[in-house]
Amino acid sequence: MEQVQNPQAVRPSPGDQLSIATPELVAIDFPLAGLGSRFVAIFLDYLLWVVVGVILVIALIIFFSGSTGASSAASATTTSSTSYKWGEAIGIAIPFLVLWGYFTLFEAFWNGQTPGKRIMKIRVIQKTGRPMNLFESMGRNLVRFVDWLPAFYIIGVISMFATKRQQRLGDLIAGTLVVHERPVERPVESIGSSRTFTSNVFKPVEATRVPRESPLPADAIAKLTLADLQALEQYLARRLDVPLETRAALASRMSDSIAQKMNYAIPVGMNQETFLEEVAYALRSLPDLRR
C-alpha cells in the first residue's frame, strides 16, 4: 500500500497557490498574498499606527507639562530635567513598543490579521495551514525592523521576490505565510482508494466491542478497513474546529464515499454525521479489523 508520510504536508501547486492536504482527504488551496495587497495592508496599518502614536505623544506632553507646572519653584529645574529625561526615554520606547505590539497582538489574537490585513482580506498562517500562535507572531514582527532596512521594507521586498512563497525574513524565521482569507477546497482522493494519509501518523486502533448493536449491516461494515476508521476518527475529532459549511461538505463527501464502498444506501432521514458516527462505532466493534 502506498502511503503519504505526512497528512498535512504542503503539496506542490502551480502559480501562487499553497495546497495543503488535510487528514479528511480534502486539499485546501490558499492563494498567496502578493506584494500589492500586502503593501496596501501595511500602508493602512501605518496610518492607524501614526494616529495612535500622535494621540500618545499629545497625552505625554500634557502629562509632563502638568507635572512640571505643579512642582515648586525651588525644585522646578530638577523636576524639569527629570521629566525631560523620562520623556526622552519614553519617547524612544513607546514607538517601538506600539509598533511591535500593534502587529504582534493583532496577528496573534485576531486570526492572523491586523486592521489593514482584514480590510485587504489577507492573513498570516503557519506554513502547515494552522493559525499562528503568540510566539510565532512575536518572532515574525521582531524581525520586521530588519525587513524595513535600509528603508521602506527593501530587504523584505527582496526576500519576497527571492522566495517561492513570497516570504519576508520574518516569515522565514517564524515559518509563516501571508495568504488571501478565503481558501478553496477540493477533494484529494476518495477514501476507498489505495492511498491513506493517516497510516503512518496514528498508531493502529485497537478494536473494542460496544455494548449495543449497530443498526448497520455487518456484511457492509466488513467491507471497510482500518484506514477507513482512521479517516473517520480524524474527521470526528476535528469537525468542531472547522466552519459549518466546510464541515457539512466534508461529511457529505465522506459519507458518500463510505456508503459507496459499503455498497449500502444511507437510510432516509439519517443525518450524514450520524451515519459516519455509526460506521465508526461498528468498525471499532470488529474483533479482527483488517488493514
Q: What is the pLDDT of residues 206-248, one digit of tens each?
A: 544 445 667 788 888 888 888 888 888 888 888 877 778 888 8
Q: Which ranges of 121-168 does DSSP label H, i.e. alpha helix?
A: 134-142, 144-148, 154-162
Q: Please indicate whether residue 17 or residue 193 has the higher confidence score (pLDDT).
A: 17
Q: Which of 55-64, 136-145, 183-192, 259-268 has the lowest mean pLDDT?
A: 183-192
Yes or no: say if 196 and 231 are a contact pair by the CB < 8 Å rule. Answer: yes
**Residue 112 sits in the same domain as residue 70:** yes
In-domain check, residue 14: no
In-domain check, residue 113: yes
| pLDDT range class, residue 188, cuts 50, 70, 90 | very low
In tens, the pLDDT along 253-269 reads: 888 999 999 898 888 88
CB neighbourhood size of 12 (10 A):
6
| pLDDT range class, residue 108, cuts 50, 70, 90 | very high
**Residue 81 sits in the same domain as residue 147:** yes
Q: Which of 57-66, 83-92, 136-145, 160-169 has the lowest mean pLDDT?
A: 83-92
**Residue 199 sits in the same domain as residue 172:** no
- Which of 120, 152, 180 is where one domain is finished? 180
Residue 186: in which H helix or E strand, if any? Answer: strand 184-187
Q: How many domains does the chain have?
A: 2
In-domain check, residue 30: no
**Residue 199 sits in the same domain as residue 176:** no
pLDDT above 80 for 197: no
Residue 22 burial (C-beta neighbours within 10 Å; 0-12, 13-18, 19+): buried
**Residue 137 sits in the same domain as residue 51:** yes
| pLDDT range class, residue 74, cuts 50, 70, 90 | very low
Residue 186 burial (C-beta neighbours within 10 Å; 0-12, 13-18, 19+): exposed
**Residue 199 sits in the same domain as residue 277:** yes
Q: What is the mean pLDDT of the chain?
A: 76
CA dist., res. 132 & res. 134, Å (int): 7
In tens, the pLDDT along 36-55 reads: 999 999 999 999 988 887 88
**Residue 119 sits in the same domain as residue 236:** no
Give the contacts of 33 (CB within 8 A, at least 6 positions apart). 120, 122, 166, 178, 179, 180
Q: Which domain holds residue 206?
A: 195-284
**Residue 257 sits in the same domain as residue 138:** no
Yes or no: say if 66 and 58 are a contact pair by the CB < 8 Å rule. Answer: no
**Residue 166 sits in the same domain as residue 270:** no
**Residue 176 sits in the same domain as residue 218:** no
Give the pLDDT of residue 5: 41
In-domain check, residue 25: no
